[in-house]
Structure 1
């Protein structure tokens, strides 16, 4: 499945959830804290999916970067002759 198909499926499920929450709210009454939390959570989910839909073209169009292999062979020590050991100070010098 593509990202678009998955988002469409999630949107359908959320629409069903919102309809069910509205029916439940009518049956139980909408004044209770628990019912308000469920309604608010369902609304937040809808907003989050809408944000995902807006970002979907960027997500679907992204290409994985090429992998760079790093050899297991040790580096040439001559590359590091002019550098200090990080956090340990310069070679052949004593700490103050």
Structure 2
């Protein structure tokens, strides 16, 4: 397949996906009383960013971490 064929196939798949999602939204709105569902505002604000910095080794100092199935600091998991 050429790149053009691949792009055409992707475009067809994307159009099928958009059409299917539209049908799903219409069927869900027909089933729910009160009309269509509105998207949740501010959803992006609930994303938590995890830093790349290493974790503080003090987090693993207590024996509760062993009880949680995380294993001991100086041993490998079974």
| TM-score, scaled to structure 2 | 0.38
- Higher RCO, 1 vs 2 (CA within 8 Å, ≥6 residues apart): 1
Q: In proportion to residue count, which structure has more helix?
A: 1
Max Rg structure: 1
